[in-house]
């Protein structure tokens, strides 16, 4: 019975039903090759959703992840155009650092100035997009301007899966380890579950939220390079509106907007569910207007489910408390 109440089990069942429904009309959709392609398409959403999950877990929200992605990707592309000999490893390190810096800016304003996260990240979202325009005057960086090494890295296949997909797998495993085996991971849950009680246990709530924004920004920066290199184009409006998909993936995956409740598996499954819908609907000739309506309906259903589930008890993070029940 507990399995039937698990959000992750329900999502797995929903994904399997979705795949079966699509396969009944287009059997080629569930071939291993196509499923790998769908996972690779969804990999950026998975990475961003994991970062957003950590932020939402601490009762915050980061609406600037897509703008962070766009600015980091554009900077990497401009450096590659000006200095084609710079190794990809250096560009990835730069993307991680620049993304983390933008996340730290968000976290600083939330921590030190106590400005609501939604206000801070709405402002920085606009600023980051504006910086891209100032850097480029609105011009694009196209495929023929980028080096082959820059473009080919995310597409290189290892054991049949492109590097972009492997990055999503590594980020998932790494963050799963952080959330389940480290003091910082438990602090994220504690701050989101009860910030006032967290203070009495010695947790610095503002600092914890700051670190959550840094993690989210770092993952957004990493995704920025991977996105631009994979699609071989960079422009001001790249990934425009993608932040809403990221939040939707978290909500579908059972991440509570009120904070304190989330799982890495849930965020990944939420992103996969949304990614499969977005890849499947065009294949079965569903109108773009219905695609938006269906995606929106999935989000509303998930929010309704979360609000009802939120009336039950929260997650137990201390073993002693678990035994006391």
What residues form DSSP beta bridges with 141?
A: 234
> Picking from 56-60, 95-99, 154-158, 280-284, which range would have the lowest pLDDT averaged per residue?
280-284
Residue-level length of the chain:
325
* pLDDT, position 163: 97
* pLDDT, position 297: 77
The yes-or-no verdict on residue 320 having pLDDT over 70 is no
Assigned token pair, 235: 């422009």
171 falls within a domain: yes
Mean pLDDT: which of 13-17, 119-123, 296-300 is highest? 119-123
5 falls within a domain: no
Beta strands in 130-233 (DSSP E): 157-158, 161-162
Give CA–CA dist 11/53, Å, rounded: 17
The yes-or-no verdict on residue 260 having pLDDT over 70 is yes
Is 291:281 a contact under the CB 8 Å cutoff? yes
What residues form DSSP beta bridges with 161?
A: 158
For residue range 300-312, what is the model confidence (pLDDT) as tens digits?
Answer: 777 777 666 655 5
Assigned token pair, 18: 């979705």
More confident residue, 1 or 80: 80
- Give the Cα-Cα-Cα angle 221, 122, 53 (nearest 5 degrees): 55
More confident residue, 107 or 281: 107
Q: Could you tell me the CA-to-CA distances from 101 to 214, 241, 286 in Å, in that order?
A: 7, 22, 41
Tell me the average pLDDT across 201-216.
95
DSSP structural state of residue 141: B
Tell me the average pLDDT across 263-268.
95
> Picking from 38-47, 79-88, 175-184, 304-313, which range would have the lowest pLDDT averaged per residue?
304-313
- Find how far residue 313's CA is from the centre of its chain: 26
> Picking from 154-158, 199-203, 218-222, which range would have the lowest pLDDT averaged per residue?
199-203
What confidence category does residue 4 fall into, taking pLDDT thresholds of 50, 70 and 90?
low
Tell me the average pLDDT across 83-108.
97
301 falls within a domain: no
Its domain, for residue 84, covers 42-239
174 falls within a domain: yes
What confidence category does residue 6 fall into, taking pLDDT thresholds of 50, 70 and 90?
confident
What confidence category does residue 317 fall into, taking pLDDT thresholds of 50, 70 and 90?
low
Q: What is the pTM of this model?
A: 0.91
**Average model confidence (pLDDT) for the chain?**
89
More confident residue, 325 or 47: 47
Based on the structure, what is the number of domains in the chain?
A: 1
Give CA–CA dist 185/179, Å, rounded: 4
Helix (H, G, I), strand (E, B) or coil at 158: strand
66 falls within a domain: yes
Tell me the average pLDDT across 53-76.
96
- Neighbour tally for 29: CB within 10 Å: 19
288 falls within a domain: no
58 falls within a domain: yes
* pLDDT, position 315: 53
159 falls within a domain: yes
DSSP structural state of residue 234: B
* pLDDT, position 325: 39
* pLDDT, position 2: 58
Over pLDDT 70: what percentage of the chain? 90
Q: Could you tell me the CA-to-CA distances from 140 to 86, 136, 235, 242, 261 in Å, in that order?
A: 20, 7, 5, 19, 41
- Give the Cα-Cα-Cα angle 17, 158, 222 (nearest 5 degrees): 80
> Picking from 108-122, 227-241, 245-259, which range would have the lowest pLDDT averaged per residue?
245-259
Tell me the average pLDDT across 82-95.
96
């Amino acid at each position: 019975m507990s399995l039937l109440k698990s959000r992750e089990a329900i999502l797995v069942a929903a994904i399997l039903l979705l795949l079966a429904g699509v396969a009944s009309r287009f059997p080629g959709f569930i071939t291993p090759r196509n499923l790998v392609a769908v996972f690779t398409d969804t990999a950026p959403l998975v990475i961003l959703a994991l970062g957003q999950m950590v932020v939402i877990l601490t009762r915050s929200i980061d609406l600037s992840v897509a703008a962070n992605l766009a600015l980091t990707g554009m900077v990497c592309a401009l450096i590659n155009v000006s200095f084609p000999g710079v190794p990809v490893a250096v560009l990835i390190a730069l993307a991680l650092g620049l993304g983390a810096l933008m996340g730290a800016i968000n976290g600083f304003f939330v921590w030190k100035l106590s400005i609501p996260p939604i206000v801070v990240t709405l402002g920085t979202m606009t600023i980051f997009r504006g910086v891209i325009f100032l850097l480029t005057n609105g011009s694009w960086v196209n495929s023929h301007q980028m080096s082959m090494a820059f473009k080919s890295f995310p597409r290189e296949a290892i054991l049949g899966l492109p590097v972009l997909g492997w990055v999503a797998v590594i980020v998932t495993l790494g963050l799963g380890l952080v959330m389940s085996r480290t003091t910082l991971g438990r602090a994220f849950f504690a701050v989101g579950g009860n910030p006032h009680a967290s203070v009495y246990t010695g947790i610095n709530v503002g600092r914890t939220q700051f670190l959550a924004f840094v993690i989210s920004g770092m993952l957004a920066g990493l995704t920025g390079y991977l996105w631009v290199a994979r699609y071989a184009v960079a422009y001001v409006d790249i990934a425009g509106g993608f932040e809403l998909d990221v939040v939707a993936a978290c909500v579908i995956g059972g991440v509570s907007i009120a904070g304190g409740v989330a799982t890495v598996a849930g965020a990944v499954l939420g992103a996969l569910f949304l990614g499969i819908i977005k890849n499947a609907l065009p294949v079965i000739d569903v109108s773009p207007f219905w695609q938006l309506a269906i995606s929106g309906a999935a989000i509303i259903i998930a929010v309704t489910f979360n609000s009802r589930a939120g009336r039950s008890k929260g997650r137990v993070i201390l073993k002693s408390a678990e035994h006391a029940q």
